[in-house]
Chains A and B, each alone.
Chain A
């Protein structure tokens, strides 16, 4: 099973700041990594798929990068609606797994 480790656990930032979230895989997942955003009481929402492709309706301030075992989700300038928990997920093989999440909170 591929273990996805997200860091940091919590990111405290102010609106307008840049957010950099990390997801590290225990073995290579090539580019088969997705990122989701989840707000309290809501279902997850797909943000990035296959490492760097923005999902439909996702603003350009969100970008994803990386390959192999190290991936990054960057939010270039945080908007109030971006404060949430972000999860990564691989689709390289079975079982599919998710990372433990990074909470982006308002400083």
Chain B
């Protein structure tokens, strides 16, 4: 089955750290660029970070730059998000999503999403 499964969410205190994982299965992970998108409970969607299939290109939203690090391990079919210096406003459901990639052409829309993992930052 083609799917993405996120894990690693939970309750963390402000200033703390958390590492999210996204396990891919049923498709050739190394052929896809990947992205983390978050959604505040009851609110809309916010792009967080993206990484190309070979990790050559990496992008971050200003709101997380310097605090979050995206990475991937194509041998393990996995995507990661290391989140440091967490703030209350980082509380959200975090989704991983894939983008089909054609060489250096990456049309950054998302044709497959995981079910998400909830991150709650609270004292």
Shortest Cβ distance from residue B4 to the other chain A in the assembled complex, whole angstroms: 9
Closest A residue to B114 by CB, please name it: A43
Which chain A residues in 61-77 approach chain B with CB under 8 Å? none
Shortest Cβ distance from residue B79 to the other chain A in the assembled complex, whole angstroms: 15
Count class of interface residues, chain B: 20 to 34
B27 on the A face (CB < 8 A)? no
Shortest Cβ distance from residue B114 to the other chain A in the assembled complex, whole angstroms: 6
- Bits for B84-123, please: 1 = Cβ < 8 Å to A, else 0: 0000000000010100000000011111111110000000
Q: Of A42, A89, A91, which one neighbours B45 at CB under 8 angstroms?
A: A89
Q: Which chain A residues lie closer than 8 Å to B111 at the CB level?
A: 46, 49, 55-56
Shortest Cβ distance from residue A97 to the other chain B in the assembled complex, whole angstroms: 7
A45 on the B face (CB < 8 A)? yes
- Bits for B14-25, please: 1 = Cβ < 8 Å to A, else 0: 000000000000
Q: Which chain B residues lie closer than 8 Å to A94 at the CB level?
A: 59
Shortest Cβ distance from residue B80 to the other chain A in the assembled complex, whole angstroms: 19
Shortest Cβ distance from residue A78 to the other chain B in the assembled complex, whole angstroms: 22
B61 on the A face (CB < 8 A)? yes
Shortest Cβ distance from residue A70 to the other chain B in the assembled complex, whole angstroms: 19
Closest A residue to B63 by CB, please name it: A95
B residues in contact (CB < 8 Å) with A:
35, 44-47, 50, 59, 61-62, 95, 97, 107-116
